[in-house]
Amino acid sequence: MSRPQNITILGSTGTIGVNTLDVIARHPGRFRAYALTANSRIEPLLEQCRQFRPVYAVVLDADAAAILSRQLRQQGLETEVLCGAEALERVAAASEVDAVMAAIVGAAGLRPALAAARAGKRVMLANKETLVMSGSLFMEAVREGGATLLPIDSEHNAIFQVMPTQFGHGLERVGVSKILLTASGGPFRKASAQELAEVTPRQALNHPNWVMGPKITVDSATLMNKGLEVIEAHWLFGADPGLIEVVIHPQSVIHSMVQYIDGSVLAQLGNPDMRTPIAYALGYPERIESGVGMLDLFKIARLDFEAPDTARFPCLGLAFEVLRRGGTAPAVLNAANEVAVEAFLQEKIRFTDIPRLIEAALEQVSIVDVQVLADVVGADEAARAAAKSWLERKA
């Protein structure tokens, strides 16, 4: 019998990480948690170490690392604790690792995902920012490292499932005429402009269909999440902006579709549960049990579709704009959005201020071509500084 596949989970205490461990636990002879990582949340990480006995646990905070190490020793666990950003890259690229779940939210997940790609791993990419910030660099690392790239976002995973295997040779050559990204529309799909101006963080965190972390949930409410996915789809599938269309689908049953030149539209359907794309990526090219219930079409009864309203939700339009501009524009958008979402969650700005802050950063920060990672990092830092300056002027 072959040994279990060693899996590193970058961001194991987040929603994607927890769901990944849930799937792994269903296949103990097939997968092993090699390394688990978190920012500073040591209590859930300790519990995960108890259950899965990884070789390494990584945290960014030094004090948290010391506490976790002591607690592991007290409980007789042999998991070694590593600390810092370089440790994330180490466990992502380790020779013993077969696959990496890249699920750290935000710009912090960029470097370890790149390390995994350069090391030729199976990269299960749940971190949007990796492709949004440095799509050209990351795809180059995938090619040069010989990595296998599998998208975890339910939408891109759906597209991957119904896309011809030869799509890398060009979408037109395989008969693809359009990629249709579905969006739930979030909790404020029918809200007026006035109602949006009064939205509270608590309301924004109440997603109608999905259970996600706070940042992604707010992005879903502004439709920025879908905008970032548009940029991701461009890099994952080599799709020009004109070949990508967003479709509001409130039931979140069809996770995305691909339209072909013969008139066919292929869709992937399923209950809204992230364990489905996670299990698909872990088992690829096989199908494995995920723990997700079977879809009951009779219970669903209907499927609705509508066009997005970019006047009420300008973040989606901004994402298409920066994709067309190219260079470091997506990195500026991403960084400014992270600052804006954090400020909104702290009740420093209104929900409707989020796109205004992003627009201000895009106007202020110079956009350059991406040649090396330093270009991306510089744009990220400049955008955060511009966003914070905007917040200070508004305060």
CB 58, CB 87: distance < 8 Å: yes
CB 252, CB 272: distance < 8 Å: yes
The SS3 assignment for 44 reads helix
CATH superfamily of 5-151: NAD(P)-binding Rossmann-like Domain (3.40.50.720)
pLDDT for position 211: 64
Residue 233: its H or E element: helix 224-237
pLDDT for position 210: 64
CB 12, CB 88: distance < 8 Å: no
pLDDT for position 116: 98
Long-range contact list for 191-194, CB < 8 A, 24+ apart? 191/312, 192/312, 193/312, 193/352
pLDDT for position 149: 97
pLDDT for position 209: 66
333 closest CA partner among 374, 309, 364: 364
pLDDT for position 207: 73
CATH 3.40.50.720, the chain: domain bounds = 5-151
**Rounded distance, CA 344 to CA 348, Å?**
6
pLDDT for position 114: 95
The 10s digit of each residue's pLDDT in 227-286 is 999 999 999 999 999 999 999 999 999 999 999 999 999 999 999 999 999 999 999 999
**Rounded distance, CA 42 to CA 318, Å?**
37
362 closest CA partner among 310, 315, 394, 308: 315
Angle at alpha carbon of residue 248, lines to 245 and 252, rounded to 5°? 115
The SS3 assignment for 241 reads helix
- Residue 377 φ/ψ region, left for φ over 0, alpha for ψ in the -120 to 50 degree band, beta for the rest: alpha
247 closest CA partner among 267, 261, 232: 267
CATH 1.10.1740.10, the chain: domain bounds = 326-395
**CATH annotation of 326-395:** 1.10.1740.10
Which residue numbers in the chain have pLDDT < 50? 1
